[in-house]
Structure 1
Amino acid sequence: MDLFKFFDAYSIRARLFPAIIAAAPALAALSLLISWKSFGLSNLIATLGILVLLFAIADFSRARGRGIEGKLYAEHGGMPSIIMFRRNDSTIDAGSKDRYRSFLEGKLAVAAPSPAEESADQAAADAFYAQCGNWLRQNTRDTKKFPILFGENITYGFRRNLLGVKLLALCLNMIVVAGCIFILWRLSWHSDTPQGSRTMVVLVVAVAHAAYMLLAVSRTAVWDASKAYGRELILSCESFLTQSRSTTKKTAARKGSSKMDKTNPTPGQS
């Protein structure tokens, strides 16, 4: 059963896709330089090798990504969902955050820090905000009810895990490029031959891949995605508050209807 969990939407887009991108040059080399006209032992070994490589890279990227995550939080002063809950942060307006604190202290059965208490002991206030974040994460797992939050979580996971394998991807890239150059040298640069043409395709893929990894994959991109997710996590309180108000109105309406029935009995009941 654990194998099938790997194929959920988050695992595919936030874990498998970074592994595929990281191994792109190697995958291109395997697919283009190996003959697939007939499926023999070498093709079977290559296919199994690709699957094992992707699984290994996906697992490695997740572990490395979490390590980078902790360092980013330390560099920026904490998790975005904690930073944005602080009263000295203006990402979310103060009035909304006051409503969210009141709601969450009721759910956690823990008093929210007052402005004076937070000013005197930010660490204690952050501990409360960390509990708020934990409660929200546990209660927003329904991806159909919180699709925007789920999308931001996938984006963050994708960028974090891809950054985790950036160095590995560039090393694989260098190996593939060196291999392609060696093959082209052996062919005396006769790129009109089938093998030469395929090798040139792999080389172009490797160059484009290196440019993407160097320019687009960065700690800044990961932190931006982390902030977007943290903001959306806090704003998910609005859904719970709206649901709570709706429940209160329905309860009041039922009580009102019950009172009307008692004060205005139906004919034959008086």
Structure 2
Amino acid sequence: MDFLDTYSLKARLFPAVLAVAPAVVLCLLCASWVDPGLPEAVATVAVMVLFFAAANLARRFGRAKEEVIFADTGGKPRNRELTHADRTLPASQKERYRSYLAVQLGLKPPTAEDEKNHPDEAQAFYDQAYGWLRENTRDTQAFRLLFTENIAYGYYRNLLGLKSVGITLNFLSLAAAAAIVYWQAEFAALSEGKLVLLGILSLLHLLYFIFGVRRKAMLDASHIYARQLVLSLETLMRRA
């Protein structure tokens, strides 16, 4: 039943549905739903298998794409929202957060001079602070907004990982449909009108994957999640 949890549905299944949409539409158009029989049963099973397989691949492909992007941008980004040099949050707000985290970790928070003169030691504090934050914000009900931003990041990452799959299936589905119509295959109820409809949907799908599925969306979602993770300290501090 893990396949049906909220994160899996929105961050893995939804990108998978978008990626395999051309193949799904082709399966549905090839079937005759007025008088369903064996071909329609096969089409239904094929659609379910496509969804399940693509959802399983979404996370794997997303992780692989994430590693490539991080390698291209100098490695996995370090969280800097709590540092003195970062301007994402006001200085007084960051000071409150650092003091609270220092108590939880039993460590001394780094000063601005520490960050300049001892960057490795300062970074070690922040790494532990963010690790503690992630471990203490796993309650998806209490930290609903953070969970939503995590889903958004997973969605954009996995969709980007499936970009090449989506574009490839787009061309293959359109080519298969054209071949079915040209040779008038008896196993499929596919007309020229349905081929035109598939062509229009394929064009829209292709344009979305080319211009809408980009690494910037994934990186922007990553920054928004990181900021919300820090802001979750407000909830943690009220509970203390």
Q: Which moved more, 1:21-30 or 1:82-91?
A: 82-91
Cα deviation, 1:139-158, whole Å, max 9, x if unaligned, reads 22222222221211111111
Q: Does 1:107 align with 2:107?
A: no
Contact 1:180–1:200 (CA under 8 A) maintained in structure 2: no
Q: Which moved more, 1:207-216 or 1:38-47?
A: 38-47
Seen in structure 2, the aligned counterparts of structure 1 residues 118 and 200 have a Cα distance that, compared at 3 Å, is: same
TM-score, normalised relative to structure 1: 0.79
Q: Does 1:223 align with 2:222?
A: no
Which is greater in Rg?
1
Unaligned runs of 5+ in 2: none
Unaligned runs of 5+ in 1: 188-192, 245-270
**1:111 Cα deviation (Å)?**
3.0
Contact 1:19–1:61 (CA under 8 A) maintained in structure 2: yes
Q: Matched residue pairs, number? A: 235
Q: Does 1:17 align with 2:27?
A: no
Seen in structure 2, the aligned counterparts of structure 1 residues 40 and 183 have a Cα distance that, compared at 3 Å, is: closer
Partner of 2:237 in structure 1?
241
Displaced runs of 4+ in structure 1, greater than 6 A? none
Letter in 1 for 2:64: G
SS of residue paired to 1:111:
coil
Letter in 1 for 2:221: A
TM-score, normalised relative to structure 2: 0.88
Partners of 1:120 and 1:49 in 2: CA distance: 61
Q: Does 1:79 align with 2:77?
A: yes
**1:98 Cα deviation (Å)?**
1.7
Contact 1:27–1:50 (CA under 8 A) maintained in structure 2: yes
Give matches, 1:1-270, under 5 Å: 4-74=1-71, 75=73, 78-79=76-77, 82-186=79-183, 195-244=191-240
Seen in structure 2, the aligned counterparts of structure 1 residues 89 and 68 have a Cα distance that, compared at 3 Å, is: farther
Cα deviation, 1:115-137, whole Å, max 9, x if unaligned, reads 22221343433332222222222
**1:47 Cα deviation (Å)?**
2.3
**1:164 Cα deviation (Å)?**
0.5
SS of residue paired to 1:6:
helix
Seen in structure 2, the aligned counterparts of structure 1 residues 180 and 123 have a Cα distance that, compared at 3 Å, is: farther
Cα deviation, 1:57-79, whole Å, max 9, x if unaligned, reads 12222112122223444516643
RMSD: 2.2
Contact 2:174–2:199 (CA under 8 A) maintained in structure 1: yes
Partners of 2:124 and 2:53 in 1: CA distance: 35
**1:53 Cα deviation (Å)?**
1.8
Cα deviation, 1:13-65, whole Å, max 9, x if unaligned, reads 11100000000111100011122334433333332222222222122221121
Partners of 1:122 and 1:18 in 2: CA distance: 39
Partners of 2:76 and 2:93 in 1: CA distance: 21
**1:186 Cα deviation (Å)?**
4.7
